């Protein structure tokens, strides 16, 4: 006995077509959202928050470098390239370019006199709560190395929370921070 097609003709799209269309539409909707798209009214996306925090941390670290350079001019030649790299990191995350420390001792509007202090809320608070630049060069370098180390560690941990390109950028900047720690502690 042969099976013949049903004499009834389908009146609309078949179930399989509807399912494929619905799946395709859901996929398309998921792919068309730009950065920061997500739930309506949910605020900035996790990636935007991570970028903003990374930019802010780099800006604060650059200010810390500027304060140390102003307090210890003898370290300026050694620290200026590291600070400039930290400024470029802030820019890569969407931060604004901070001015270089000048002879008058200011950087990006932050006073940086020999008695200058940096914000305690920065990326690497001292464990004792002190935010003043140490008076000796070795202590000042240790302050910067500690700040770089803590920030590199925090960025490495954040890699799990961000996708693709953002994770690569965080990894690269964390690796640069680890290199800075080496340069600050050796030689």
At residue 117, what are phi and psi to the nearest 5 degrees? -125, 160
41: left (phi over 0), alpha (psi -120 to 50) or beta: left
Per the structure block, which two tokens stand in for 118?
């940096």
Contact between 122 and 61 (Cβ < 8 Å): yes
| Range 93-104 burial, b when 16+ CB lie within 10 A, else e | bebeebeebeee
Question: Could you read off the pLDDT of 7-49 as tens digits, one per residue?
Answer: 565 555 554 444 444 434 333 333 334 444 444 444 578 888 8
* Per-residue pLDDT tens digits of the chain, which is 187 residues long: 666 655 565 555 554 444 444 434 333 333 334 444 444 444 578 888 889 999 999 999 999 999 999 999 999 999 999 999 999 999 999 987 655 554 334 343 333 333 333 433 334 444 444 568 999 999 999 999 999 999 999 999 988 888 888 999 999 999 999 999 999 998 6
User: If phi over 0 gives left and psi between -120 and 50 gives alpha, with beta otherwise, what is residue 99?
Assistant: beta
- Token pair of 182, please? 């080496």
Q: Find the angle CA(150)-CA(151)-CA(152) to the nearest 5 degrees.
A: 95
Pairing of strands 106-107, 110-111: antiparallel
Question: Mean pLDDT, the chain, as a whole number?
Answer: 73
Quick one: tokens of 121? 């809320």
Q: Structure pTM?
A: 0.63
């Amino acid at each position: 006995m042969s099976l013949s097609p049903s004499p009834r003709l389908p009146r609309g799209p078949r179930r399989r077509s509807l399912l494929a269309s619905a799946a395709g539409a859901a996929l398309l909707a998921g792919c068309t959202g730009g950065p920061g798209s997500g739930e309506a009214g949910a605020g900035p996306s996790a990636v935007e928050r991570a970028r903003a925090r990374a930019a802010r941390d780099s800006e604060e670290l650059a200010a810390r470098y500027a304060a140390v350079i102003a307090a210890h001019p003898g370290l300026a030649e050694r620290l200026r390239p590291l600070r400039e790299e930290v400024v470029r990191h802030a820019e890569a995350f969407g931060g604004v370019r901070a001015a270089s420390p000048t002879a008058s001792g200011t950087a990006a509007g932050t006073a940086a006199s020999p008695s200058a202090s940096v914000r305690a809320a920065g990326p690497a608070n001292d464990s004792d709560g002190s935010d003043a630049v140490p008076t000796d060069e070795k202590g000042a370098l240790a302050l910067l190395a500690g700040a770089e180390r803590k920030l590199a560690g925090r960025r490495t941990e954040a890699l799990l929370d961000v996708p693709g390109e953002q994770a690569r950028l965080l990894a690269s900047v964390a690796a640069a921070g680890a290199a800075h720690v080496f340069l600050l502690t050796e030689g």
